């Protein structure tokens, strides 16, 4: 089964492609490498024994999309491609609307021409904004987002939902992720963002490895057990498996399918810090600062719908997620770029 995977060289995309290959599927990767590396192809081949077909290009390139859909017998699209830095989206909102929203419009238009009507969209819990209560279920109100990145996800969700409403032969699956972290267990692939990390786990691991001096904790006066924010963390391998299970069970069935992919439990910033210190066997310097605008106290999921509909549940503990993060960081202290430079790899 050939599946177009947009953004398949990125963090979640690369882990999903590995799992697809190990299950006998054929991912066709399209990526412009704006936040990924050509080295990923080598790493995927090391793990699976196969190098997937890769197209270097942009989802806004309609001619390229048309060509891919003509050359391959593609059954569905898993759509990961998109800019994803919250901070950058605030400073460069037009770039985010152009790349993420307009890019999705081009993708859907090309899919229409090729008569491909099955798509899984990589959405986010940010569409829920500041929920009135937790845990969050899929029927909660969405749209009260605090930044352009979240609004991008909300707009794309509404657009895809409208497409399915107008043509009920479409299968549209919206997977709302809650803070993916971790790495492939061997440490061969992991998260290597080109952005300055603004999420907790990449930042804390860079402090632990010595790339940064200290962790900044924004707010210790939230109405939580220790005053720091609580989030729902999920292993990237669980996210990858969720995409594949949804693809097999749900995405080829016409309809609008919406699911939370989360662990169903929350962990505070200070809890993460203490666990990570034990794993890396060192004290991690940190500084408490005031809350950031738009940050919320708690955000964690009720993922029971995915378990009920297609048998998915998060399998990995928070300790395992952080162990795998640290293994990746230790083996790749400067990410993929280090090996590309060292061996002058040219793919």
Which tens digit of pLDDT belongs to each residue from 272-321?
999 999 999 999 999 999 998 878 999 999 999 999 999 999 999 999 99
> Residue 202: what are its φ and ψ, rounded to 5°?
-60, -35
Single out the catalytic residue among 11, 55, 128, 149: 149
Q: Is the pLDDT of residue 73 over 90?
A: yes
Could you give the CA distance from residue 176 to residue 138 in angstroms, rounded to a whole number?
Answer: 9
Could you give the CA distance from residue 211 to residue 203 in angstroms, rounded to a whole number?
Answer: 9
Supply the pLDDT for residue 345.
40
Instruction: Answer whether 28's CB lies under 8 Å from 74's CB.
Output: yes
Q: Scan for tokens 């707009």, then name that residue.
A: 155
Q: Which domain holds residue 68?
A: 2-331
Helix (H), strand (E), coil (C) string for the chain: CEEEEECCCCHHHHHHHHHHHHCCCEEEEEECCCCCCCHHHHHHHHHHCCCCEEEECCCCCHHHHHHHHHHCCEEEEEECCCCCCHHHHHHCHHHHHHHHHHHHHHHHHHHHHCCCCEEEEEEEHHHHCCCCCCCECCCCCCCCCCCHHHHHHHHHHHHHHHHHHHCCCCEEEEEEECCEECCCCCCCCCCCCCCCCCCHHHHHHHHHHCCCCCEEEECCCCCCCCCCCEECCEEHHHHHHHHHHHHHHCCCCCEEEEEEECCCCCEEHHHHHHHHHHHHCCCCCEEEECCCCCCCCEECECCHHHHHHHCCCCCCCHHHHHHHHHHHHHHCCCCHHHHHHHHCCCC
Domain count, the chain: 1
- 56 flagged as catalytic: no
Non-local (6+) Cβ contacts of 160 within 8 A are 104, 108, 119, 121, 172, 174
Which tens digit of pLDDT belongs to each residue from 28-54?
999 999 999 999 999 999 999 999 999
Burial of 100 (0-12, 13-18, 19+ CB in 10 A): buried
Q: Is the pLDDT of residue 220 over 90?
A: yes
Could you give the CA distance from residue 34 to residue 54 in angstroms, rounded to a whole number?
Answer: 15
Cross-strand bridge partners of residue 258: 174
Which CATH number does the domain housing residue 245 bear? 3.40.50.720
Can you tell me the mean pLDDT for 174-191? 97
Q: Is the pLDDT of residue 69 over 60?
A: yes
Q: Is residue 235, in this structure, part of any structural domain at all?
A: yes
- Looking at every residue in the chain, the average pLDDT score rounds to 94
Instruction: Answer whether 166's CB lies under 8 Å from 251's CB.
Output: no
Q: Is residue 336, in this structure, part of any structural domain at all?
A: no
Could you give the CA distance from residue 125 to residue 115 in angstroms, rounded to a whole number?
Answer: 30
Helix (H), strand (E), coil (C) string for 265-315: CCEEHHHHHHHHHHHHCCCCCEEEECCCCCCCCEECECCHHHHHHHCCCCC
Q: Is residue 268, in this structure, part of any structural domain at all?
A: yes
Non-local (6+) Cβ contacts of 63 within 8 A are none
Can you tell me the mean pLDDT for 164-177? 97
Supply the pLDDT for residue 292.
84
Q: Is the pLDDT of residue 255 over 50?
A: yes
Please compute Rg for the chain using Cα positions.
19
Q: Is residue 60, in this structure, part of any structural domain at all?
A: yes
Task: Name the pLDDT band for 338 (thresholds 50, 70, 90).
Answer: low
**Tokens in use for 167?**
């043509």
Percent of the residues in the chain that have a pLDDT greater than 90, as a whole number:
89
Q: Is residue 346, in this structure, part of any structural domain at all?
A: no
Can you tell me the mean pLDDT for 237-266? 95
Q: Is residue 337, in this structure, part of any structural domain at all?
A: no
Q: Is residue 161, in this structure, part of any structural domain at all?
A: yes
Cross-strand bridge partners of residue 21: none
Supply the pLDDT for residue 87.
86
Q: Enter the pTM of the model.
A: 0.95
């Amino acid at each position: 089964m050939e599946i177009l995977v947009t953004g398949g060289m990125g963090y979640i995309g690369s882990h999903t492609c590995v799992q697809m290959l190990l299950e006998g599927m054929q991912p066709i990767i399209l990526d412009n490498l704006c936040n990924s590396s050509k080295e990923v192809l080598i790493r995927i081949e090391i793990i699976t024994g196969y190098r997937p077909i890769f197209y270097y290009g942009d989802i806004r390139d309609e001619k390229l999309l048309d060509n891919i859909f003509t050359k391959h017998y593609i059954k569905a699209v898993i759509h990961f491609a998109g800019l994803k830095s919250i901070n950058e989206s605030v400073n460069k909102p037009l770039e985010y609307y152009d790349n993420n929203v307009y890019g999705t419009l081009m993708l859907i238009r090309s899919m229409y021409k090729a008569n491909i009507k099955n798509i899984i969209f990589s959405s986010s819990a940010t569409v829920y904004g500041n929920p009135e209560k937790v845990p969050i279920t899929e029927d909660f109100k969405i749209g009260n987002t605090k930044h352009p990145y979240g609004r991008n996800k909300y707009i794309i969700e509404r657009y895809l939902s409208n497409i399915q409403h107008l043509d009920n032969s479409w299968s549209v699956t919206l997977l709302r992720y809650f803070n993916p972290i971790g790495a492939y267990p061997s440490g061969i692939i992991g998260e290597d963002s080109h952005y300055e990390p603004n999420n907790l786990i990449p930042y804390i691991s860079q402090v632990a490895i010595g790339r940064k001096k200290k962790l900044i904790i924004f707010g210790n006066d939230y109405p939580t057990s220790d005053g720091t924010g609580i989030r729902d963390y999920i292993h990237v391998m669980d996210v990858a498996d969720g995409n594949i299970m949804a693809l097999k069970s749900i995405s080829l069935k016409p309809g609008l399918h919406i699911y939370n992919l989360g662990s169903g439990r929350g962990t505070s910033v200070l809890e993460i810090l203490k666990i990570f210190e034990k794993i890396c066997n060192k004290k991690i310097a940190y500084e408490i600062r005031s809350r950031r605008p738009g940050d919320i106290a708690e955000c964690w999921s009720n993922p029971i719908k995915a378990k009920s509909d297609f048998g998915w549940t998060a399998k990995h503990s928070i300790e395992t997620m952080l162990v795998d993060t640290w293994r990746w960081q230790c083996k790749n202290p400067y990410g993929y770029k280090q090996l590309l430079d060292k061996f002058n790899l040219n793919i």
